[in-house]
Amino acid sequence: MVAEPKAAGPRYDERPLVEVRDLAVSYQGKPALQDATLEVYPNEIFGVIGPANSGKTSFLRALNRMDAFTRGMDVRGSIRINGKDTRDWRNLYALRSRIGVVFPLPVGLPLSVFDNVAFAPRLRGVRKKAALEEVVERCLVRAALWDEVKDRLDTLGSLLSGGQQQRLTIARALSQEPELLLLDEFSIAVDPVTTMRIEDVLKELRSELTIVLVTNLVQQARRLADRTAFFLTGEVVEIGRTEDLFSGQAADPRTTGYIEGRFG
């Protein structure tokens, strides 16, 4: 049964934005994820938790069709985004432009702050300076970084602090105008204060797009996610409303054990 939506939150009465059926991922024949079936709804923050080697990152990589660029990675099953199977996209770059990705460590282009954010719009054909400036400012504001860098947009992005670089990667992802944002343990390399700032950004972004959040911090999932999936050794053990899983109403004792820190 689908959870009831929160105010201004997920639209559970609509068709899922992401539909995953019997997804299996392997590397050089070694299974990483098996028989994953789930849905992610529009404007939802969908949390994914679990110990290392549970298949969480492989799940994100499959959503973004990274198997097309990764030797030895094999993906079976189906993934539909807005009703269209990702295998039916002939232009993978067009598909991936609709999916923003933020990795555990900040991965900036060797460019200025401005050019990092303007990179994707330029690829779309935006050339006018005023239009690029508008996009850059809007994305940096949405990533809670504008006030800190507005006077040094020509500075190399790599010279920013770690937390600023991570927010720059979010701004760059947003410049693609994605409908789906994937975050893979974004807070590993940033301090707690910056982590909370980014969490506030994600709460605001939920009104504009859909977010899949892989996190090694179970309390982060509790703070942010509308629903949470628990992955364990390549299996999707359980999916439920986050507040239910964290209030002792998990259906599988392994979920409760992980949340309570008894393993992992």
Q: What is the pLDDT of residues 63-95, one digit of tens each?
A: 999 998 899 999 999 999 999 999 999 888 888
Summarize the confidence of residues 240-262 as an average pLDDT.
94
pLDDT of residue 29: 93
Residue 149 has pLDDT above 50, yes or no: yes
Residue 59 has pLDDT above 50, yes or no: yes
pLDDT of residue 1: 39
pLDDT band at residue 20 under the 50/70/90 scheme:
very high
CATH T-level topology, domain 9-98+224-264: Rossmann fold (3.40.50)
Of the listed ranges 45-54, 89-98, 219-228, the least confidently predicted one is 89-98
Neighbours of 119 (CB within 10 A): 14
| C-alpha to C-alpha distance for 219 and 130, rounded to whole angstroms | 42
Q: Which of 133, 134, 165 is nearest to 148 (CA)?
A: 165
Q: How far is CA 90 from CA 21, 85, 96, 226, in A?
A: 21, 11, 11, 33
pLDDT of residue 8: 61
Exposure class string for 197-229: b at 16+ Cβ within 10 A, else e: bbbebbeebbeebbbbbbbbebebbbbbbbbbb
Residue 143 has pLDDT above 80, yes or no: yes
Greater model confidence, 124 or 264:
124
DSSP category for residue 82: T
Arithmetic mean of pLDDT over the chain? 91
Summarize the confidence of residues 200-216 as an average pLDDT.
93
Summarize the confidence of residues 57-67 as an average pLDDT.
94
Residue 2 has pLDDT above 50, yes or no: no
pLDDT of residue 124: 87
